[in-house]
Homo-oligomer: A and B are copies of this chain.
Amino acid sequence: MRTRPLKVALLGCGVVGSEVARIMTTHADDLAARIGAPVELAGVAVRRPGRVRAGIDPALVTTDATALVKRGDIDVVVEVIGGIEPARGLITTAFEHGASVVSANKALLAEDGPALHQAAEAHGADLYYEAAVAGAIPLVRPLRESLVGDKVNRVLGIVNGTTNFILDRMDTSGAGYAEALDEATALGYAEADPTADVEGFDAAAKAAILAGIAFHTRVSLDQVHREGITEVTAADIRSARRMGCTVKLLAICERAQDGNSVTARVHPAMIPLSHPLASVREAYNAVFVEAEAAGRLMFYGPGAGGSPTASAVLGDLVAACRNKLSGARGPGESAYTQLPVSPTGQAVTRYHISLDVSDKPGVLAQCAMVFAEHGVSIDTVRQQGKAAAPEGAQPGSDAATGSDGEASLVVVTHRATDAALSATVEALRKLDTVRGVASTMRVEGE
């Protein structure tokens, strides 16, 4: 074994960074044996130097991250700051000074992955980022390496723990969105400003990264259709239950049927309770990968948290260190197929539509005509209201007619393009008898 240690600069020492530092210390012998050389924490860049950091030599702590990555003797930079800047500048500087980089930064990878990969390439360095997607779950490496001889057609999964926790709570307790969010915040599953999670930005960044790897095609963040969970209501969850479904925030990356384009989208969707993703509880993540030869694979585990994220960072750190020792390089960006990224309108999906309608005969016929005009086939209709009943639908067991003669109509469609479905909903809104569209939600996983 080589005795001169490999030097690691740690950028950021929050929940993840401090756990990385702790494991590097407590498991130093194991890491050395697995790498083939000892690995040493050469510096830790932080914003607030005053904070007590258990187990970290205060002499290693600096607020000058730039000077640390410019030292010239750093073999690997571990970036767990998050956000776009200063992380981007520091990573680029690290490459320029000969270091490889391990990053957990999904926002940056999604925003600027190609440029970072190019910078790594230009300087013969590695860029690893397993921790950027789904925490400890090995997903980036299996997609980049294990399935590299296969053709991935679909990646579908739960990649945000905060929203899964909220939706799980709404499902199990019947709570509304606001109440479930409060609980998530109180338990530390949601941040004080939960926007990145609940509006789907975090999941969209992961979808962009996953689609890029899976399809060997650059997918930028603004090409990912994004809807969060803030408009999911307790009524939606109840409605899902009546259909034998639950509601999950899904990231879906798909190759079109003709193979000539791809889509990436993040939105809440109803999935059948029998689907394995339906039983993914609390803040866990799970991702299905469908490949031509491999078939359907699922990867499941904790999608966030200090220790799980540190596990992924350390796996990458060992790989980057091994490559440093042997002069090898890990896989770079693979974007040779350059498939067009289609707007989500071309994705084929099903809709669950809940309408508030006038409680009088003829409404169903009028609505059904709108569906037919848009070429959207109806799977099931459930009417809730007195006057509507004679049209033949079964009133729901919990039917309730509004006191002002309002009723509701719940339609589940067959598969159609997202564009046709949203055009249908727009046309329904214009009907005199439709007082409002209470909710629309896609149905997936069948």
Contact = CB atoms under 8 A, between A and B. Distances in A.
A30 B312 contact: no
A220 interface: no
Contacts of A279: 276, 279
Contacts of A381: none
Interface stretch (A318-326, A345-353, A383-391): A318-326
Interface string A105-120: 0000000000000000
Contacts of A322: 331
Given A141-B145, A141-B146, A149-B316, 17 more contacts: A137-B297, A138-B142, A138-B147, A138-B297, A142-B146, A148-B314, A150-B311, A276-B300, A291-B311, A294-B302, A294-B311, A294-B312, A295-B301, A296-B301, A297-B300, A298-B298, A327-B327
Which residue of A138, A279, A326, A329 has the most chain B CB atoms within 10 A of its CB atom? A138
A326 to B, nearest CB: 6
A224 interface: no
Contact of A295 (B148, B308, B327): B308
A138 B149 contact: no
A302 to B, nearest CB: 5
B319 A148 contact: yes
Contacts of A298: 298-301
A311 B146 CA distance: 8
A271 interface: no
Contacts of A197: none
12 contacts: A23-B150, A34-B334, A136-B293, A136-B295, A138-B147, A141-B141, A145-B315, A292-B311, A293-B310, A294-B307, A297-B299, A300-B300
Interface in A132-154: 136-138, 141-142, 145-151
A166 interface: no
